[in-house]
Amino acid sequence: MKKININSIKRLKSKEKISMITAYDALMAKIFDDIVDIILVGDSLSMSFGGDNDTLGISIDEMIYHTKAVCKGVKKTLVVCDMPFGSYLDKNEALKNASKIYKQTKADAVKLEGGVEKADIVKELCQNSIAVMGHIGLKPQFVRAEGGYKVKGKNEEEVKKLIKDAKALEEAGVFCIVLEGVKADAAKKITDSISIPTIGIGSGKNTDGQVLVWSDMLGFFDEFKPKFVKRYLNGAELVRNSVKEYVKDVKDGRFPSEEYWY
């Protein structure tokens, strides 16, 4: 089975839509492997599995632990590890932490949030043979600084800035860019302005690919559903019902029956 690499992802631009999903452990990664093109070990982990209100609290060592697990479950799909908040404040810090991710895990690339202002850092990583995925638009690591999650590309000025960000990242060497929470028409303009793929989340259909958080799309996180999430399964409900059935079997003495004992 040939492993997907960053060049195969780049070649998909304008040919075939790219699929990306998050995973945080070997169990789910094994299920998603060879079905999706890219698995992202997102810092969304801190919210969907850590129970935090935002993504800012997760550490580099926690990201490494989960990325290691994901890589153990994967044979074919490309794996990207999010660089957590505060781990790429300057070039040296970024290189030290991205190298740590590369050394301690089998991740194929790292992802970091930011545009023009992060281009130098991206360049430093790429020049030191670390593959980087960009992330612009709504940047969850900026939630406290921006006072909430803000959709981007709402006016001409914002669109111009996003295109500038995308071009600066492309020039710095990223192999593709996540566009999160960008108005659909703006996402199309950004996608058309660069020669590397864009992967959208809540950014319409004119990006080169799509990404969703697995626990959102499979309905395991059912407290609320953002507009951009399509639910493919009612995971939480199915699990709750199955666990209720198990508890009832235990209480009523139906489990275990003879076939389950030695």
Positions that interact with ligand KIV (CB under 6 A): 22, 40, 42-44, 82, 178, 180, 201, 211, 213
CB-closest chain residue to ligand KIV: 42
Find the shortest distance in angstroms from Cβ 1 to ligand KIV.
Answer: 25
- The one-letter code for the residue type at 64 is I
Of 113, 170, 180, 259, which one is the catalytic site residue? 180
Q: Give residue for tokens 């959709």.
A: 151
Q: Which residues are CB-neighbours of 81 under 8 A, at least 6 positions away? A: 41, 63, 64, 67, 101, 105, 107, 109, 110, 111
Does 245 participate in catalysis according to the annotation? no
Q: How far is the CB of 212 from ligand KIV (least distance, A)?
A: 8
Measured from the Cβ of residue 201, the count of other Cβ atoms closer than 10 Å reads 24
With vertex at residue 71, the alpha carbon angle to CA 7 and CA 218, rounded to the nearest 5 degrees, is 95
> 83 vs 246, which CB is nearer to ligand KIV?
83
Distance CA(244)–CA(81), nearest Å, equals 36
Tokens representing 213? 């958080």
Spell out the long-range contacts of 45-54 with Cβ–Cβ below 8 A and sequence spacing 24 or more. Answer: 48/22, 48/24, 48/213, 48/215, 48/216, 48/221, 49/24, 49/215, 54/140, 54/143, 54/144
Closest approach of ligand KIV to the CB of residue 147, in Å: 20
- What is the smallest separation between the CB atom of 24 and ligand KIV, expressed in angstroms? 9
d(CA 164, CA 80): 24
The set of catalytic residues is: 180
